[in-house]
């Protein structure tokens, strides 16, 4: 048995951490969302005006839907890349597995900003991609829609979040006992049936975890649209950022943040339920 003092000592630092850096900011944000901005000054009067604005001003809903679309595209593309990659590494990579695994992981150590600027360099008007296309005489003029478009945002976020999608799927695939796959073949199932009936269902928890990562992280991203997105790809976090910054409308920014937070929590809750439903001893 551990003594009371020991238990207290162990419990206090994390509780303090959570209290100061998580609960307190959230409480402040929550409070702000019910306050008002009048003539450029914060008025501490409880009201629901900010939330009304969320639903009455079409801009916010429009940007939020665009954000959700971009996040969904990123999730879809990351799954499309991450799942086959994880499948190959887990089942067919053989001795190359360790090396390939490192290749997938290494980009995670590179700063997000560096990767953002790299995409800027690749996609820009005098960028690598345009230079290459002109060199091959496929295009005569620089193609301008590569950069500063939702496409660029999706591309960059897919690049960044594919390892996050890959990792839980890979872990799930590695956890599938290999005799199950042999049993499936033994009972007459070909590769396709074995994948659809055994491997895919047993990897669903990892797939859900990866998809949740990609979607939730993309939903809150503001750097990718800032760096490569342009006005046509403004996302909801950019709006929050400008409301807290240049516009100095903290209450409205907080209300939007609370909205995003609710959406995110609902999503996390739903996927956790689903993951439980699909996990087996």
Partner 1 sequence: MSVAGASSPDNAGNSSAPLLEIRDIAKSFGRAEVLKNISLQIARGEFLTLLGESGSGKTTLLRLIAGFEQPTSGQIWMGGERLDALPPHRRRVNTVFQNYALFPHLSVRENVAYGLRVKSTPKNEIATRVDDALGMVKMTDFAEARPATLSGGQQQRIALARALINRPELLLLDEPLSALDANLRKQMQSELKLLQREIGIAFLFVTHDQDEAMALSDRIALLRNGALEQVASPREIYSHPTTVYAAQFIGQTNLLRGEVRGDCATCGAIRICPVNGPDGPATFSLRPEAIKGILDATIGTPYMTFKATVRQQTYAGATELLEVDCAGQLLRVRVPAGEPLDGEHEFIFSPRDAVRIRD
Q: Any contact of residue 94 with partner 1 (CB under 8 A)?
A: no
In DSSP terms, 41 is beta-bridged to 38
- The candidate with the shortest Cα–Cα distance to 166, out of 94, 96, 79, 103, is 79
Per DSSP, the three-state class of 36 is strand
Q: In the complex with partner 1, which residue's Cβ is closer, 48 or 182?
A: 182
> Which of 189, 217, 263, 274 is close enough to bind partner 1 by CB under 8 A?
189
Q: Tell the smallest beta-carbon distance from residue 183 to partner 1 (Å).
A: 4
Binding region for partner 1 (CB under 8 A) out of 23-31, 45-53, 104-112, 188-196: 188-196
Could you say which residues in the range 163-182 bind partner 1, by CB under 8 A? 177, 179-180, 182
Q: Considering the rule CB under 8 A, would residue 102 count as an interface residue with partner 1? A: no
- Tell me if 202 contacts partner 1 by CB under 8 A: yes
Smallest distance from partner 1 to CB 79, Å = 20
Q: Which of 61, 193, 248, 269 binds partner 1 (CB under 8 A)?
A: 193
Q: Please say whether the beta carbons of 129 and 122 come within 8 A.
A: yes
**Per CB under 8 A, does 195 bind partner 1?**
no
Nearer to partner 1, 173 or 258 (CB): 173
From the list 67, 262, 87, the residue with the least C-alpha distance to 174 is 87
The C-alpha atoms of residue 179 and residue 174 are separated, in whole angstroms, by 12
Least CB distance to partner 1 at residue 111 (A)? 40
Q: Give CA–CA dist 11/34, Å, rounded.
A: 33
Pairing verdict, β 41-43 and 36-38: antiparallel
Tokens of 261: 């937070």
Q: Give the span between the Cα atoms of 254 and 32, in whole angstroms.
A: 6
Q: Which of 184, 238, 257, 271 binds partner 1 (CB under 8 A)?
A: 184
Q: Please state, in angstroms and as integers, the Cα–Cα distance from residue 56 to each residue in 38, 202, 233, following that order.
A: 19, 44, 21
59 binding partner 1? (CB under 8 A): no
Q: Is 208 in the site for partner 1 (CB under 8 A)?
A: no
Q: What are phi and psi of 245, to 5 degrees?
A: -100, -105
For partner 1, the closer of residues 130 and 194 by Cβ is 194
The contact set with partner 1 (CB under 8 A) reads: 177, 179-180, 182-190, 193, 197-198, 201-202, 278, 280-281
């Amino acid at each position: 048995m551990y003594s009371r003092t020991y238990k207290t000592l162990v419990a206090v630092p994390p509780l303090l951490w959570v209290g100061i850096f998580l609960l307190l900011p959230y409480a402040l944000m929550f409070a702000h969302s019910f306050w008002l901005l009048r003539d450029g000054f914060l008025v501490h009067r409880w009201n629901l005006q900010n939330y009304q604005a969320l639903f009455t001003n079409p801009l916010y809903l429009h940007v939020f839907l665009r954000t959700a679309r971009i996040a969904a595209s990123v999730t879809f593309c990351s799954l499309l890349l991450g799942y086959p990659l994880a499948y190959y590494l887990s089942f067919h990579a053989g001795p190359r597995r360790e090396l390939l695994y490192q290749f997938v992981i290494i980009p995670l150590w590179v700063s997000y900003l560096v990767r953002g600027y790299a995409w800027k360099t690749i996609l820009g008007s005098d960028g690598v991609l345009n230079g290459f296309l002109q060199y091959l005489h496929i295009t005569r003029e620089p193609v301008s829609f590569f950069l500063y478009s939702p496409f660029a945002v999706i591309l960059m976020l897919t690049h960044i979040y594919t390892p996050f999608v890959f990792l839980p799927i890979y872990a799930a695939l590695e956890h599938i006992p290999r005799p199950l796959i042999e049993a499936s073949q033994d009972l007459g199932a070909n590769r396709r049936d074995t994948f659809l009936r055994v491997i895919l269902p047993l990897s669903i928890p990892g797939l859900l975890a990866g998809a949740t990562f990609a979607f939730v992280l993309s939903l809150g991203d503001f750097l990718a649209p800032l760096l490569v997105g342009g006005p046509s790809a403004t996302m909801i976090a950019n709006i929050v950022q400008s409301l807290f910054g240049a516009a100095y409308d903290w209450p409205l920014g907080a209300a939007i943040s609370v909205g995003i937070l609710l959406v995110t929590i609902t999503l996390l809750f739903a996927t956790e339920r689903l993951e439980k439903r699909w996990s087996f001893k």
